[in-house]
Amino acid sequence: MFNPCLQIHTKAGTIISMVKVIPRAEHTISRSNISDGALKVLYRLKNASYQAYLVGGGVRDMLLGREPKDFDIATNALPEQVQEQFRSCHLIGRRFRLAHVRIGADIIEVATFRAAPLPSDTGADAEGAFVDTEHRIDKDGRIMRDNVYGSLEDDAWRRDFTINALYYNIDDFSLVDYTGGLADLKAGQVRLIGDPEQRYREDPVRMLRAVRFAAKLGFRIHPDSEAPLFKLGYLLDDISPARLYDESLKLFMGGYAVQTFELLRHYGLFGHLFPYTEADLAHEDSHFPMTLVTRALTNTDARIAAGKTTTPAFLYAALLWGAMRTLAQQMQTQDMTESQALQEAGNIIVARQVQRTALPKRFSLPMREIWNLQLRLTQITGKRPFVTVTHPRFRAAYDFMLLRAEAGEEIQALCDWWTRFQVVDGDEQQGMVSPRSGTPSGSGKKKPRRSRSKSSKVVSASQASDAAE
């Protein structure tokens, strides 16, 4: 059914909308699909006489027949009032004040209805930014602080995409749609609410979110929301590396990395996240490093689909390998050994990359070990293979070497050697590491010196640590 017209005032002007309320009998959302924690929060707020709605990706995914990853709640209760209702609640954020409620192992995010500032609410400070007591917009239109509270209608128009602005009302189990989100879900399109360029300028990360939703859902981006993507990518350069790192994980570790990568490059956004990878991709040699990157992304998607663990260390190792290798090759012409060049090039590429997307040391260090082990994997005589196979990152480095071979690097013989070395018995392992066996064709290395060691403790493949990924 339709409610009467509602006027929603924004900084851009007045928006006239017809709110659509879909009763329980006419939609597919069931409380049985909502987590117990989210239901407890919804009912506690309702019983305390507050409005409480499930909103965002959880509602969207349930309507699409997908299993929701999380459940977000919107309410007219202020953050401090939410905190009064739950002992396990703590408030977070300055730019967006939120309440996090812990129910068992779940954390339910609760946000107070927000509104856009009216033009009369804002002035300009010395830096040219629009300001009021709880709202700050910089000279480029980017929202720096957003704690202006409003009504449910206001909140709907402040959200980013129509498909994320659908509300499930715990009071009567109806679905509330102010922005045409249901129609866009049926049409399979991602559409920004309001003026697309203004909304991207308010928060440039919305460009990455548009791409992520399009890739994840198999939707197309509405033409009006798509056009600014080709020209506003530079706005991402002002976003903090920490935030871009978080977004990169959502982009590439959500199970749709290949489609996401292709869309990011299509819109010219990938280079703002990985500028050195993008530069290296522009100088392909027999489809390398493009093949390596796409195979790594495909491998990540496959592991996620199979319920296996993934780690940013392996993915970043693949994304940055081409740029690091190119730099290392240049350094080797300056009288550096291969080992020195790989070490120094790795230092430089990591230092450059973290200026765009932060990479915590718990991932950057394993990534560097995967790289460094690539050289050690070419050393297959004497004791060295037995030592290498016990390294904590051996399995990840071995998998990475296989990935390089699949991408076209001429190391297949070396890959075959290590594959066999891990499964044969001790006597056969000893025979494989004899200097007389030589270096496998395709390793690119000269025949190593004869090892002084005549024997070595046999290490079976089962003793190797599991992969980093």
Active-site residues, by number, are 70, 72, 160
Q: Do 18 and 2 touch, CB atoms closer than 8 A? A: yes
- Our measurement of the distance from residue 317's CA atom to the centroid of its chain's CA atoms, rounded to an integer in Å, reads 15
Both tokens assigned to 356: 């765009």
- Listed in sequence order, the residues at least 6 apart from 256 whose beta carbon sits closer than 8 Å to its beta carbon are 212, 215, 216, 301
Give dist(CA 357, CA 353) in Å, integer.
Answer: 6
- For residue 41, which phi and psi values (nearest 5 degrees)? -65, -45
Give dist(CA 135, CA 148) in Å, integer.
Answer: 6
130, β-bridge pairs: 124, 137
DSSP label of 288: B
Helix (H, G, I), strand (E, B) or coil at 184: helix
Give dist(CA 460, CA 264) in Å, integer.
Answer: 43
- Our measurement of the distance from residue 249's CA atom to the centroid of its chain's CA atoms, rounded to an integer in Å, reads 2
Q: Is 419 left (phi over 0), alpha (psi -120 to 50) or beta?
A: alpha
- For residue 405, which phi and psi values (nearest 5 degrees)? -65, -45
Give dist(CA 201, CA 154) in Å, integer.
Answer: 20
Cis preceding linkage at 289, omega within 30: yes
Residues 19-49, buried b or exposed e (16+ Cβ, 10 A)?
bbbbeeeebebeeeebbebbbbbbebbbeee
Both tokens assigned to 59: 């509602």
